[in-house]
Structure 1
Amino acid sequence: MSEDLVIGIDAGTAGMRAGLFNLRGQPRGFCDQSYPTRYPQPGWAEQQPSDWWRALVQVVRGCLEISQARPEQVIGLAVDAPCNILFTDQNGEPLSASLIWMDLRATAQAQMLSMTGDPVLRYCGGDVPAEWPVPKALWLKQQQFKSWEQAAYLVEQMSWLTHRLTGVLAIPLNSAAAKWHYRTAADADSPTGWPERLLVEVGLEDLPEKVPGQPLAMGAKAGELTRQAAGELGLPAGIAVAMSGIDAHAGMLGLNVLAPGKLALITGTSTCQLAQSARPVFDHGLWGPFQDAVMTGEWTLEAGQASTGGTVRWLLDTLGGALPVGEERYAAADAAASAISPGAEGLVLLDFWQGSRTPIKDPRARGTIWGLTPAHGPGHLLRAVYEGTAYGNRHILDKLNELGVATRQIVACGGGTRSSLWLQVLADVAGLPITLTTVPDAVALGSAICAAVGAGAFTDLRSASQAMVHPGQVVEPNPGVRAIYDEGYARYRATYAALAPLFQQG
C-alpha cells in the first residue's frame, strides 16, 4: 500500500544527511555526503555554498535509491542548518564563501556588541558569542565594506538552501529569535522586530535591509519545490518545502521534548541541552530565553558544553595506542573505561578543551586533568572524561533547577548515545533516567516533522512530534554510586574555582 513520505535534511558542519520517513516517524532510508571546510587563517572557517547544494542533491537521490520509494510518495521536505552566513545578489546567487558558525574572526565584534549593555542582550544571557551571526555581520561590514555595499542580501545556509529549493528567500524565525536578537513581542525595554537600538550603536543599522523576507516559524510552508530543483532531486515539482530551524532545535522536535520537565540532550563533538518553558527565565549562565523560537507562545532555554565527544576523540587520538581504529575503537574505549570503578580512582577532569559555554561562560577556561599517579592508565583517563563531561551536564541541570526549571527526564540523541557506559555515567551523575528514542537521528527526524506540518499532514508541531517520535530504551540511574559522584562533582566545581584566576592570565 502506498504511504506518504517526508524528507528531513540535516546540513551539518561536516556534511549533509537526509532521512526519509513515513508519517509514523518510521525511517525508510538515510544517506550522507561530506563536504570540505577551509581554514584560511587561524580561527577562520569557511565553506562553499555550491558544495552544500551538490551534497543535498546527492543525499536526497540517495535516500530514494536506498529506500526504493517512489518519488511521488514524497509530500514535503525541510532543511535544518547552523547559522552559517553568506552574501548573495538580488537573485540569491552567492557572492562569497560562507562564514560558518565555528568561525571566530568576529571575536572583537562580539565583545563590542556585548559591551553596549543593550537591554535586548538579556535574552542571550547578557553577552554575544562570536559564533553567532550578528558579530560576523559586523566584521563583514567593517572589514569587507565594498562587498557589504555590493551584496543585496546576507543570508543563512538554511535560507539559501530553501531558496534553491523554492525560489523564495526568507529567514527562519527559529534562528532569528535565538541568534539574531529578533523579538516577536515587545517588552518595556526591547521593541518588536530587529534590535535597532543595538544595531545603530555599533554601526550596523542597515542589517535589517540585508536580511530578506519575513521570519518563518518552524513547520511553516516556505514555498513549493520548483521545476528546476525537482529535476535535480528526482522529486515531483510543487511539493511543500517547510522551514526548519537550527540543528539542535530541530532535534527537540525529533525527541518530542516540547513539554515542561523534559530536557533534550543532543550529543556529538559538543553537547547542547535544551528545554521549553512557559515563562521567560533570565540568567547570565544560559542562552535565551528565546521567545517563539520552537513553539509559538513558549520560550526555549539553551545551554551547552563545547567539548564532550570531542574530548573523547582527542584522548583516543593522542593516547589510543593499541586500540583499534574506526567504530571498534569506541567499543574498546568503553571496555577500558568500564574496567575502572566510579570515581576514576581519584582523577578529576575539567571538560574545557574549547572553553566553557554554560553555565560558566569562560572562553579562556582550559581542559584539565589532575590526580595522576603511575598507577593510572588509559582506562582511568577515559573514565575521567566520561565523568567530567557528566559533571558539566549536571552543572547545567543544577542551574536550571535553581531557576525553577526542573528536569524530570532527559531525552538524548547523537553520537554520544552509542556509548552505553557514557549514558550510564550521565544518568548516575544526574540522578535522572535518560530516555532514547527509536530513531537515533533526532535532528533529521525533527526536520521531517517540520516537513510533515508544512505539507499539511499535521496541524501543528506538537501533534506531529507526538505521532512521529516513539520512546525507546531507558537508562535508569544507579543509586549505589550517587555518593561517589556527589564527591566527584564537588571536586569538579572546586577545581574550576581554584584555576579560574590562572585561566584569566592566558
Structure 2
Amino acid sequence: MESTMDEEYLLGIDVGTSGSSGVIVDSEVNTVVSASTEHDVLVPKPGWVEHDADEMWWDDVVELATELLDRSGVPPEKIAGIGISALHAAMLPVDRRGEPLRPAILYGVDTRTSEEIEILNDRIGAERIYDVCGNKLTFQSVGPKILWYKRNEPELFERTDKILDATGYVVSRLTGNYTMDNAIAGYFHPLYDPTALDWDDEMIDAVGIPHDLLPETQWSTEIAGHVTESAASATGLAEGTPVVVGTGDAIASLVSVGAVDDGDSIFMYGTTGVIFTTLENERRPEGLWSFPHCLEGKYTAAGGMATSGAILKWFRDEFAFEEQQRANGATAYELLDDRAAEIDPGSDGLVLLPYFSGERTPITDDSARGTITGLTLSHTKEHVYRATLEGVGYGFRHHLEAMRDEGVPVDRVRAIGGGARSELWRDIVSDITGVTQEYVADPLGSPLGGAYLAGLGTDVFDDLEPLRESITVNERTEPDPESTALYDEYYDVYRDLYPQLKDSMHRLSELGSR
C-alpha cells in the first residue's frame, strides 16, 4: 500500500505468550498494514514457563517491524511514534550491558514460587502486604519470582543490574533506556504501592533486593526514549523515532476496543482467559488483581485463568489430526466448531475444569488440575471439544461473579482475542454468563492499543475520541434464556467439583512431579 507523504503514522507491536503481532495505523486510526508471527514457550520443568527474551521477544519485534515497513510502503521517517505492549508481567534480569542473564520467568502460568510466597507472607505478614499493594501474593506476583531468583541463582543475581518486564526489555532494546509503566509495576507485588504510584521502600527491604534494581515507573504514554542507531539498523526504523513507555498486552487490549470508561470490560479469549475492567476509582477486590490503568487517573480490576485457548490448542494438536488434514481452507478449529455446534448445551452431561496449568484467580491454586467429568461411551471427540469451550465459559462466569461480589462494575463487555472469532464460543460464553458481548470483527487488539498510546504520547492524538469514533461493533452476542437456565445447573456442578476434588488434585500433582 502506498503511503501519503504528508501523513503521520504510528507503529504498535505486541509480544504475547505464543506469538507476536504488529500494526501500522494512520492519524485517523485506519489500519495500513498488520502482521503476526508465532513463537514457543520454554517449559524446562513442570510448573516452570519461560521465554528466551532475545529469540522470542526481540527477534519478533525485528521481524514484524521489518515486514510492516516493507509491506506498507510507509517511509520509516513518517512513523511518528512506537508503542510496545507485551505479556505481563514477566521477570527478566539483565546485566550492565542490558543483556539477559537467564530466560524470562513468565506470569502466573509459572508456578515455581510456592516457597517464596510463604517466606514473604511470614516475613512481612499477608495483611501488611495487602495493605500496601492491594493484592495477595500469588503466582502472578513478580516479587516472589525475584526472591526465587535471588535464592536459587545467587551468582547470576549478583551480576544483575536491572529487573525488567517484557515490554521494558523491548523498549530498552529500541532506546537503550530502562522503563516500566505503572500498570505493569502493579504486578510487582509486594514491591509497588498502586496508591502512591511508586516502589515501596519497606517492601523492597523486606524482599532483600537493592532499590536500584527496579526501573523508574512512568505512565504508558510518556516518551521512554528514541530509536538508537543499532535498533534502527536491526529493524529498519528511523533513528530518533520516539518510543513510549508502553504497557501490558491485556490492558493495551482494553484501550484497543475503547473500553476506557468506568465499568467497561473485556473478555479476552487468548492463550489464557482474562477479564479486565476499567475503573475511575481504585478498588481492591479480594481474590482478584487490582492495579493502575495504563491511562493516568484510571485503575483496573482483573482476573485470569491459567489456560483457555491453550487447552484448545492442546486438543487440536493431540486429537484433531483428521481435522487438520481435511481443513481445505477452513481451520481445524472451524471444523470442530461446526460439529460441536450440533451438540446441546452441557455436552450431554460433561463438565470440564480448565485447570490444565493450575489456576490463577479466583482459586489461586498451582496444584489444581484439569478434569473432564461425566464421560460415557456415548460421548464423542466433539462432545469433549464443546465441553472445553464450556469449561472456559464457566471460568469467565466464576470471575464475573467474584468481581460483582466485590462491588466491581462489569457493564459493557467486549470480546477480544483470537478465540473471540469463534461465534460458537462467544454464544456459549454469553449463555453461561448471561452477559451480552460486543464483538469488533477482525480486532487488532493489543498492537492497536500500543499504537494509540504512542499517538497520545507524541501528540498525534489529543484524547481518546478518535479511538472511540474508529471502533465499530459488528456483532452483539445475546444470551439465550433457555440455554442460560440449563447452564445454571451445569455451573452449579462446575463450582462443586473443585472443592470435592481439590485434595485428589494436589495428590496427583505431587505424584506427577516425582
Measured against aligned partners, the alpha-carbon deviations of 1:402-449 in whole angstroms (never above 9, x if no partner) come to: 222232321011121121101111111122211112442211111111
1: CA distance, partners of 2:386 / 2:114: 34
Q: What pairs up with 1:378-389 in 2 under 5 angstroms?
A: 378-389=381-392
Correspondence 1:163-242 to 2 at 5 A: 163-180=172-189, 181-186=191-196, 193-202=198-207, 204-206=208-210, 208-212=211-215, 214-242=216-244
Q: 1:152 to 1:370 in 2, by over 3 A?
A: closer
Aligned-pair distance for 1:492?
A: 1.5
Counterpart in 2 of 1:50? 54
Match of 2:411 in 1: 408
What is the CA distance between 1:151 and its match in structure 2? 2.5
| Separation in structure 1 between the aligned mates of residue 54 and residue 316 of structure 2, nearest angstrom | 34
Paired residues of 1:438 and 1:469 also in contact (CA < 8 A):
no
| Whole-angstrom CA distance in 2 between matches of 1:467 and 1:221 | 25
RMSD over aligned Cα, in angstroms? Answer: 2.4
Q: Counterpart of 1:9?
A: 13
State the SS of the aligned residue for 2:333. Answer: helix
Describe the shift of the 1:86–1:353 C-alpha distance in structure 2 as closer, same or farther (beyond 3 A): closer
Aligned to 2:314: 314
**What are the residue-to-residue correspondences of 1:263-278 with 2, within 5 Å?**
263-278=265-280
Cα displacement (A) at 1:113: 2.4
Deviation digits for residues 150-186 of structure 1 (CA, Å, limit 9, x no counterpart): 3322222322221221222222222112334412534
The code of the aligned residue for 1:5 comes to Y
Tell me whether 1:298 sits opposite 2:302 in the alignment. Answer: no
TM-score w.r.t. the length of structure 2 is: 0.89
Alignment correspondent of 1:60: 65
Contact kept, 8 Å, 1:339 with 1:379, in 2: the verdict is: no
Is 1:452 matched up with 2:455? yes
8 A Cα contact 2:286 2:406, kept in partner: no
- CA apart distance, 1:224: 1.8
| Equivalent residue, structure 1, for 2:512 | none
Match of 1:420 in 2: 423
- Could you report, residue by residue, the CA deviation over 1:300-358 in whole angstroms, capped at 9, with x for unpaired residues? 10111122122223333343363334752111111111111122222222222222322
The alpha carbon displacement at 1:36 in A equals 4.9
Unaligned stretches of 5+ residues in structure 1? 187-191
How far apart are residue 127 of structure 1 and its match? 2.8
Give the percent of matched residue pairs that are identical in Structure 1 and Structure 2.
Answer: 29
C-alpha displacement at 1:467, in angstroms? 4.5
Secondary structure at the counterpart of residue 67 of structure 2: helix
Distance 1:6 1:237, change over 3 A: same
User: Are the equivalent residues in 2 in contact too, given 1:429–1:482 (CA < 8 A)?
Assistant: yes
Return 349-358 or 391-400, whichever deviates more. 349-358
Paired with 1:53 and 1:27, the residues of 2 have a C-alpha distance of 23
Pick the aligned partner of 2:126 from 117, 127, 134: 117
The match for 2:168 among 135, 156, 159 is 159
Structure 1 position 372, deviation (Å): 2.0
C-alpha change, 1:444 and 1:123, in structure 2 (3 Å) is farther
Contact 1:120 1:195 in 2 (8 A): no
Secondary structure of the structure 2 residue equivalent to 1:499: helix
Question: Secondary structure of 1:272's partner?
Answer: strand
Query: What residue number does 1:189 align with?
Result: none
The one-letter code matched in structure 2 to 1:144 is E
Q: Could you tell me how far apart the structure 2 residues matched to 1:47 and 1:494 are?
A: 35
1:150 corresponds in structure 2 to: 159
Distance, in Å, in 2 between the alignment partners of 1:49 and 1:491 is 41
Contact 1:124/1:287, CA 8 A, preserved across alignment: no
Write the distance in 1 (CA, Å) between the matches of 2:58 and 2:78: 23
Change in 2 beyond 3 A, CA 1:313/1:439: closer
Return closer, same or farther for 1:349/1:125 CA change in 2, 3 Å cut-off. farther
Unaligned 5+ segments in structure 2 are 509-514
Residue identity in the other structure for 1:182: Y
CA contact (8 A) 2:266 2:413 kept: yes
User: Relative to 1, partners in 2 of residues 1:367 and 1:123: Cα closer, same or farther, differing over 3 Å?
Assistant: farther
Identify the residue that residue 397 of structure 2 maps to in structure 1.
394
On the 8 A contact 2:198/2:217 being kept in 1, the answer is: no
> Which of 470, 473, 477 lines up with 1:471 in the alignment?
473
Q: Distance in 1 between matches of 2:111 and 2:495?
A: 28
Change (3 A) 1:179 1:87: closer
- Kept after mapping to 1: 8 A contact 2:139/2:360: no
Q: 1:369 to 1:64 in 2, by over 3 A?
A: same
Distance 2:79 2:478 in 1: 38
Offset of 1:118 from its aligned partner? 4.7
Shift of 1:129: 2.5
Preserved contact between residue 181 and residue 294 of structure 2 (Cα < 8 Å): no
Deviations 1:60-109 (A, max 9, x none): 01001122222232111111123333333334244444333344433321
- Matched residue of 2:447: which SS? helix
Report the residue type matching 1:306 in the other structure: A
Contact kept, 8 Å, 1:30 with 1:66, in 2: the verdict is no
| SS of corresponding position for 1:21 | strand
TM-score (norm 1): 0.90
Q: Does 1:105 align with 2:109?
A: no
Correspondence for 2:511: none
For residue 341 of structure 1, the aligned residue among 339, 344, 350 is 344
Aligned residue number for residue 25 of structure 1:
29
Aligned residues: 495
| C-alpha distance in structure 1 between counterparts of 2:153 and 2:369, whole Å | 33
Whether the 8 Å CA contact 1:275–1:302 is kept in 2: the answer is yes
Contact 2:12/2:24 (CA < 8 Å) preserved in 1? yes
In 2, Cα distance between the equivalents of 1:478 and 1:387? 15
SS in 1 for 2:282: coil
